[in-house]
């Protein structure tokens, strides 16, 4: 087989493998399996309202700033987000909040020097409003609060 024939056969095989998962969309009970996913993350129906749990720093004037995921620990954003959700569901939000407040208090960065407390929050957002830039939550509940104690520099 010459190089052009091989390239042509290889191209057809790759195209077929990429398009093969789409056949699952024709089934009444599609089956998603690695490595042939039919991409349900893009095609699944989503709720209009999404619930998020996250960390907030509050300063002495009451200004609230969402904390980045890495103040809790190492790992990716989704991994940390799952830790926060698990802590809230397991009744461990207070200990998680104390840990984050300790982390923020020990940082030498000036980014959160005015922060006085850390809060674990559960909020609901309407996705259509959020995408349009109207990101106000439809509900907001405080799961835990902890004061930030600064370590001497």
In a domain, 114, yes or no: yes
In a domain, 115, yes or no: yes
Number of domains in the chain: 2
Q: Are residues 18 and 64 in the same domain?
A: no
Q: Are residues 122 and 77 in the same domain?
A: yes
Q: Are residues 53 and 123 in the same domain?
A: yes
The pLDDT value given to residue 153:
57
Q: What is the pLDDT along the chain (153 residues), one digit of tens a residue?
A: 789 899 999 999 999 888 877 777 777 777 766 666 666 666 677 788 999 999 999 998 999 999 988 888 888 888 999 999 999 999 999 999 999 998 888 877 677 788 899 999 999 999 888 888 887 899 999 999 999 988 665
In a domain, 25, yes or no: yes
Domain of 126?
Answer: 49-147
Pairing of strands 64-66, 49-59: antiparallel
Q: Are residues 36 and 53 in the same domain?
A: no
Asked whether the bond before 35 is cis by omega within 30 degrees of 0, the reply is: yes
Q: Are residues 31 and 58 in the same domain?
A: no
């Amino acid at each position: 087989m010459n190089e052009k024939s091989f390239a042509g056969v290889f191209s057809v095989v790759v195209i077929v493998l990429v398009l093969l998962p789409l056949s699952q969309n024709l089934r009444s009970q599609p089956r998603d399996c690695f490595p042939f996913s039919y991409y349900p993350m893009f095609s699944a129906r989503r709720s209009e309202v999404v619930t998020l749990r996250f960390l907030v720093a509050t300063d002495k004037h009451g200004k609230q700033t969402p904390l980045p995921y890495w103040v809790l620990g190492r790992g990716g954003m989704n991994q940390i987000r799952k830790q926060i959700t698990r802590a809230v569901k397991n009744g461990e939000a207070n200990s998680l909040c104390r840990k984050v407040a300790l982390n923020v208090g020990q940082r030498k960065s000036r980014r959160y020097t005015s922060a006085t407390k850390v809060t674990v929050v559960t909020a609901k957002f309407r996705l259509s409003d959020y995408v349009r830039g109207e990101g106000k939550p439809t509900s907001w509940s405080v799961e835990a609060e902890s004061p930030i104690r600064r370590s001497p520099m």
